[in-house]
Amino acid sequence: MNAPAAHLFQPRALPAAMLDELKTRFGERCSTAMAVRLQHGRDESPIDAPPPEVVVFCESNADVVAVVALADQHAVPVIPYGAGSSLEGHLLAVQGGVSLDVSRMNKIISVQPEDLTVTVQAGVTRMQLNNEIRHTGLFFPIDPGADASLGGMSATRASGTNAVRYGTMRENVLGLTVVTAQGQLIHTGTRARKSSAGYDLTRLMVGSEGTLGVMTEITLKLYPQPEAVSAATCTFPSIDAAVRTTIQLIQMGIPIARCELLDAHAVRAVNRHDKLALTEAPMLLMEFHGSAASVKEQAESVQEIATEWGGQGFLWATTPEDRTKLWAARHRAYFAGLQLKPGCRSVTTDTCVPISHLAEAVTIASEEAEAAGLTHYIVGHVGDGNFHIAYLIDPNIPAERELAERLNLQLVERALKMGGTCSGEHGIGLHKMGFLVTEAGEGAVAMMRSVKQALDPKNIMNPGKIFTA
């Protein structure tokens, strides 16, 4: 299954009594205005669904507890909503219910620079966090394309460009405050860097896509801002050559901080959107962190490997301003890409494969998309073995969506055969349920369902995502 079928849409009625109680408690923070509902009823996926019945803007743990307790009482779905930037239909109200908006829960609760930890409310976005902690000399490295909320990033087990060096949300969430499906507030994890104390509820919640509870507070690892940073771009004769450079530097253990691939289409999109003049050919965009000497050494090693694979035009962004410009352009690649085809929506793939298979995986994906004649571009966190191909489809032409889904199907099946995964960092949502079964097997998915049923027996937490009820 690639696109959500009609049977996924099973709206449940929102009892008038519950709506009354929500209005009494939340006043203007409880909205049934169609504009608000519509805004909360979609995300960056190409899927349409009816909007939620009501949107509640929570401002505290107590607010979240109140909403979930009511939802539990009335067996009504609750969909946690952060920044609205998920890509796989996570936010769609396929069974109706309440959109629980945490975007106003946007306080940094406490920062402990000496422990390299911070605790934030779930609505804090990654950019806000880094702005607010800059004075400490620390930073939080996880950076999906959007300025996502840290709650949403935890829920989808997000990563981004720095994961090759710093890990993903899986490695960087130390603890959580969670409102369970019964409306109970619990805490998972501690501020210690490691623990063997019982089941790893933190990592059970991270990546659970809002289906097991609402994360309201998140304790994260921070990192010292590196003493020295340098960034470089390098152009390659083929996607294959760029990826083989990456494979080799990973195999050698060079501690590169970022290693991003853009294909020629992605470079063209970024050039247009950000008025840059990058050579429109497959490109690696790299960054090195460390002491001045170590950064220099890493850069020299990588330049040597790249040159062997035909890399040329090494351009160094030496000032912070130049680096920021380059990475901002990379982060805007998604929106820049959409403008390659005005009015389009994007079907975005997200496979991750063992590194030795990456060149083959990306090259075939590129060739298939070219042969199909569908506008597309490729960006990849290639140091992790993860890449995205965005197929740009006209939402009014069903054949284009079908073509994109068929290409995605081929690509995912190939990735799974290579020992990879159908989702590196976007999650399953509505869009990849079938792939999850192929990847994990019926037995493992049955185990996931058992966990879901144990923790959310009324199936109120973001129902219809990850697996059908």
Residues 109-138 that bind its own copies (CB under 8 A): 112, 114-117
Smallest separation (angstroms) from its own copies to the CB of 311: 20
**What is the C-alpha separation between 365 and 167, in angstroms, rounded?**
25
Residues of 123-146 as b/e, b for ≥16 C-beta within 10 angstroms?
bbbbebbbeebeebebbbbbbbbb
Residue 194 CB neighbour total at 10 angstroms: 7
* Site membership for its own copies, residue 158 (CB under 8 A): yes
Smallest separation (angstroms) from its own copies to the CB of 409: 15
* Site membership for its own copies, residue 355 (CB under 8 A): yes
Q: Which of 353, 365, 390, 460: binder of its own copies (CB under 8 A)?
A: 353
Site stretch for its own copies (CB under 8 A), options 51-59, 312-320, 349-357, 387-395: 349-357
Residues 281-300 that bind its own copies (CB under 8 A): 290-291, 293-294, 297
Residues 381-410 that bind its own copies (CB under 8 A): 384-386
Q: Which is nearer to its own copies, 55 or 461 (CB)?
A: 461
Q: Which is nearer to its own copies, 161 or 235 (CB)?
A: 161
Q: Where are the beta strands (DSSP E) in 370-435?
A: 376-381, 386-393
Q: Which of 16, 35, 197, 371: binder of its own copies (CB under 8 A)?
A: 197
Q: Which of 1, 127, 276, 448: binder of its own copies (CB under 8 A)?
A: 448
Q: Quick check: 26 and 72 in contact, CB under 8 A?
A: no
* Site membership for its own copies, residue 143 (CB under 8 A): no
Helix (H, G, I), strand (E, B) or coil at 94: coil
Q: Which is nearer to its own copies, 298 or 366 (CB)?
A: 298
CA pseudo-torsion sign 433, 438, 442, 445: negative
Going by the DSSP 8-state scheme, the letter that residue 395 receives in this structure is T
**Strand partners for 119:** 110, 219
**What is the C-alpha separation between 444 and 205, in angstroms, rounded?**
17
The beta-carbon contacts of 367-373 under 8 Å, at least 24 apart in sequence, are 368/407, 368/410, 368/411, 369/407, 372/403, 372/407
Smallest separation (angstroms) from its own copies to the CB of 466: 6
Q: Which is nearer to its own copies, 157 or 401 (CB)?
A: 157
* Site membership for its own copies, residue 4 (CB under 8 A): no
Residues 247-276 that bind its own copies (CB under 8 A): 247, 250-253, 255
* Site membership for its own copies, residue 195 (CB under 8 A): yes
Q: Among 104, 15, 89, 106, which residue's Cα sits nearest to residue 54?
A: 15
Smallest separation (angstroms) from its own copies to the CB of 163: 6
* Site membership for its own copies, residue 163 (CB under 8 A): yes
Smallest separation (angstroms) from its own copies to the CB of 220: 13
Residues 166-185 that bind its own copies (CB under 8 A): 167-168, 170-171, 180, 184-185
* Site membership for its own copies, residue 450 (CB under 8 A): yes
Q: Where are the beta strands (DSSP E) in 277-431?
A: 283-290, 312-317, 345-348, 376-381, 386-393
Q: How do strand 98-101 and strand 78-81 relate by DSSP bridges?
A: parallel
Q: Which is nearer to its own copies, 117 or 233 (CB)?
A: 117
**Strand partners for 376:** 391
Q: How many residues bind its own copies (CB under 8 A)?
A: 92
Q: Quick check: 202 and 99 in contact, CB under 8 A?
A: no
Q: Which is nearer to its own copies, 18 or 164 (CB)?
A: 164
Q: Among 361, 374, 364, 366, which residue's Cα sits nearest to residue 424?
A: 361
**What is the C-alpha separation between 181 and 31, in angstroms, rounded?**
22
Smallest separation (angstroms) from its own copies to the CB of 189: 8
* Site membership for its own copies, residue 435 (CB under 8 A): yes
Site stretch for its own copies (CB under 8 A), options 31-39, 120-128, 316-324, 433-441: 433-441
